[in-house]
Amino acid sequence: MSRHKIIYIVSLVILGVLIGFAVFRPMATGSKYTEVQRGHLLQTDTEYIFQFDIINHEGKDKNYTINVLVDGKQNTEDVLIPDGQMFTYIHHVYLDRLTEGKVSFTIYKEGEASPFEEATYYLK
């Protein structure tokens, strides 16, 4: 075999291995995580309604803390989500109680100092 054919075959094998890692590696390592999905913001005549789902794929039951800050006033809720389950969080913000219109959400996993999800909305 010529040297060019050997280099060509080796490069194809390396390319195949890289493609294999790109396709199968994320599936293998992505089994322990938490995600926030389906975030909705609805407005009625009297309020804003925030809704989102927290899905636990951690491999065990996990506690979460949801902090909501509305114009500097904090509301905290702790929730236990079983492994493989989803929790739907709903928060109402009434228009007559808004001053600045800044609403922030932070979600923490138990035992972690930094949030894994943050969102800020500016209303009005």
Q: Phi and psi for 31 in degrees, rounded to 5?
A: -85, -15
Run of H or E including 30 = none
CB-based contact 87:54 (threshold 8 Å): yes
Cβ-proximal residues to 46 (8 Å cutoff; 6+ apart), any chain: 94, 95, 96
Neighbours of 83 (CB within 10 A): 12
Q: What is the mean pLDDT of residues 21-31?
A: 60
pLDDT digits (tens, 9 = 90+) for 94-107: 999 899 999 999 99
Cβ-proximal residues to 19 (8 Å cutoff; 6+ apart), any chain: none
Quick one: three-class SS letters along 63-123? Answer: EEEEEEEECCEEEEEEEEECCCCEEEEEEEEEHHHCCCCEEEEEEEECCCCCCCEEEEEEC
pLDDT digits (tens, 9 = 90+) for 36-74: 988 899 999 999 999 999 999 988 999 999 999 999 999
pTM reported for the whole predicted model: 0.72
Which class does domain 33-122 fall in? mainly beta
75: confidence class by pLDDT, cuts 50, 70, 90:
very high
Q: Would you state the pLDDT for residue 34? A: 85
Q: Would you state the pLDDT for residue 19? A: 80
pLDDT at 28 over 70: no
Whole-number average pLDDT of the chain: 88
26: confidence class by pLDDT, cuts 50, 70, 90:
low
Q: What is the mean pLDDT of residues 27-40?
A: 74
